[in-house]
Amino acid sequence: MLSGYIAGAIMKQEVILVLDCGATNVRAIAVNRQGKIVARASTPNASDIAMENNTWHQWSLDAILQRFADCCRQINSELTDCHIRGIAVTTFGVDGALVDKQGNLLYPIISWKCPRTAVVMDNIERLISAQQLQAISGVGAFSFNTLYKLVWLKENHPQLLEARARLALYFVAD
């Protein structure tokens, strides 16, 4: 019985499943060893308006995970003759979130296009010079810089940082 399973697994085409969360689309793409796309699905992605302020944007982690699941379901039938060897997740890298020790979100994921951090960027000189910040971080003056989000959270929700929260960069850079 086991030998039949092993033979079946060896006969199947090996693929890597790539889950890509971009600001405009979420995708599931299966790629074989030769780099050929075996299957793909895509669905639109969009941030939500924050309940705190109707000019702010945030991401729903549940909605993103649901979009990934939907895309995976769409390509499932194309992968019946494939063996998934691994999964890679790629997404926008500036939209991290604070989580507790159990990995639960402590605050919604602030979107890269949310204007709430522009004020922090404009006033960063009170904490560190813009030149020094760029020299240390390598990041220019962009309001979506993760550091500006952390400063905004510290100034507006200090209890979240005091609770030994951890920054989870759920989304690794594209």
pLDDT at 99: 83
pLDDT at 141: 81
Q: Report H helices in the chain.
A: 2-11, 61-76, 118-122, 130-137, 146-156, 158-162
Residue 6: pLDDT band with limits 50, 70, 90:
low
140 strand-pairing partners: none
Query: Among 121, 124, 173, 117, which Cα is nearest to 149's?
Result: 117
pLDDT at 161: 81
As given in the structure block, the two tokens for residue 110 are: 């602030």
**Stretch 62-77: mean pLDDT, rounded?**
97
Q: What are the φ and ψ backbone dihedral angles of 44, each rounded to 5 degrees?
A: -60, 150
pLDDT at 46: 95
User: Tell me: domain 1-91, CATH 3.30.420.40, correct?
Assistant: yes
Q: What is the pLDDT of residues 106-162, one digit of tens each?
A: 899 999 999 999 999 999 999 999 889 889 888 778 888 888 998 999 999 998 887
Distances, alpha carbon 127 to alpha carbons 94, 98, 115, 130, 148, in Å: 20, 21, 20, 9, 11
pLDDT at 59 over 80: yes
pLDDT at 68: 98
Residue 7: pLDDT band with limits 50, 70, 90:
low
Global model pTM greater than 0.85: no
Residue 3: pLDDT band with limits 50, 70, 90:
low
Q: What is the pLDDT of residues 8-49, one digit of tens each?
A: 556 799 999 999 999 999 999 999 999 999 999 999 999 999
Residue 168: pLDDT band with limits 50, 70, 90:
low
Domain boundaries, the chain: 1-91, 96-167
b/e map of 114-153 (b: 16 or more CB within 10 Å)? bebbeebbeebeeeeeeeebeeeeeeeeebbbbbbbbbbb
